[in-house]
Structures are given as structure tokens and as C-alpha cells.
Amino acid sequence: MWRAIPIAVFAVLAAAAQPARAEPSFRRVTISNEVLSMEIPDDWREIEPLQLEELTMWAADATAGRLVEVYQSGFCPLEFEDDPYLPNILVQIRASGRVRYGSFLDLPPLADLQNDTRVSFPQGLPPLIMGIAIDRAAFDRSKYCIRLEHSLDLRLRGRVTVLTAAFLTERGFATLYFADRERRIDRGRELFDRIVDSVVVAPEFAYRPRTSDRWPGLPFFVAAAVILVVLIGYLAARRRRRS
């Protein structure tokens, strides 16, 4: 290890001698009639509404109508590195009813959440998915935001990580999903954190805590697992068809 130190020092000095790389610029966008706004990189574009509609239809077909997920907006880079559909961000506004934040104050161990995920697929994982795991679960009380991280092992496609930030609202959830290759996820986390920090929920939808909210309500994690499996399945199936 010690022999590597001079090389590391040289690398730092060489990098310092290079011109400073410009910080990426961002622009603010509004989602679903200004329910929320957030910042995204200038070199990302909005996914066409037709593609979002295809995603909804694919989810319904793939689950025989048991799962109909509607995404109000989505974004992806103008130019992809080596994957035509990764990374990407999808935004979902769910008016499924107000949820008490007490459900997330004392989160169960990851092992229990893993078991809940397995139970949510009683017939086994879809053929495209070889494995799924919850790597992180946290609740940000200051933002009333649930943060999840899932790892998926896709057949023939490799490992993908999905980052989730679900903001509680007075009507349900405003959720952001970020998906990318596992090998690039460190860079993706930095970008996603920047986007999550920029989210502003419109005052009429913003979560207003109540004293009774400390009591537990309905769980969220199983639904999130099902949604991300459908999402990744769609992306992989779409690419397979084009190939």
C-alpha cells in the first residue's frame, strides 16, 4: 500500500495542473402542473410522453392488469455513454391518500425488508430478474422523504442500481426513481442527491405533519420494489426488441 502513495501524489499533482473542469449547469423544471419542481442537468432531455405511456401500458400487460403505474415525467441524457436507456429519472405523482410519517420513524432491519420484498413475489421473480436486494432504507424527517436503494441482477444485462426518493405529500407520494449501471452508481448518487435536494413541492401539496402522524400507517417498501422491477423490466425488454 505504501508504494502506491508516491504514485497517488503524482496523480493528484498532474490533475491539479490540468484546466479545471466546469461544473455542470442545471435548469429548473416543473412536473405535473407544478405539483413539484426540481433541477436537472442542462444536458438532459425530457422523455417523450408517448414513451411514458408505453411504460404504463407495458406494466399493465406484464402483470395482467394488476399493476398500472403512471409516470408524469422522465428525463435522460441527450447523449448516452453505452446504454440507450441508462441512466434515467422517472417522476411519479401518486394521489393514493395521505400517509402518516410514523410508518417510517423506526424502520425495520434490512433483512426484514428483504423478506418483505421476496413475499411480494409469491410466484418468484420475473424471468428477467435474477435477483433483487434492498441496500439502503432511510427516512429524512426534515424533508419527509423516504430514501431507498435497490440492486437488481438482470439476466443478460448485468447489475443495475435504482435509487428512490419518495416525498410524502398531503395527497400521497411524489417519487423520483433514478436507475443506472451499478458500476456508475457512485457518480449517479451525487447527481441524484443534487436533484433531490432541489425538489420543491407546491404549498398546496406539501406535507403538513400532525400530532397523530407519529402513529404507524401503511408500508411503502413492497410497493416500491414492485414498481422498480416493472420499470427495469420495461427498459430491458424495450432494448431487446430494438436489438
Rounded Cα–Cα distance for residues 132 and 4 (Å): 36
Residue 1 lies in a domain: no
Residue 77 lies in a domain: yes
Residue 99 lies in a domain: yes
Chain segment 211-227, per-residue pLDDT in tens: 888 765 545 555 555 55
Residue 141 lies in a domain: yes
Residue 71 lies in a domain: yes
pLDDT at residue 134, rounded to an integer: 80
Residue 18 lies in a domain: no
Q: What is the mean pLDDT of the chain?
A: 76
Chain segment 139-197, per-residue pLDDT in tens: 999 999 999 998 877 766 678 888 999 999 999 999 999 988 898 999 999 999 999 99
Residue 59 lies in a domain: yes
Domain count, the chain: 1
What are the C-alpha distances in Å from 193 to residues 12, 39, 92, 100, 178? 26, 11, 17, 24, 10
Which residue did the predictor score with more confidence, 6 or 169? 169
List the CATH number of the domain containing 192: 3.40.1000.10
Residue 163 lies in a domain: yes
**Cell (9 digits) for 195:** 436533484
The phi and psi torsions of 207 (rounded to 5 degrees) equal -70, 130
Rounded Cα–Cα distance for residues 86 and 234 (Å): 12
CB 234 within 8 A of CB 58: yes
- Residue 66 lies in domain: 23-242
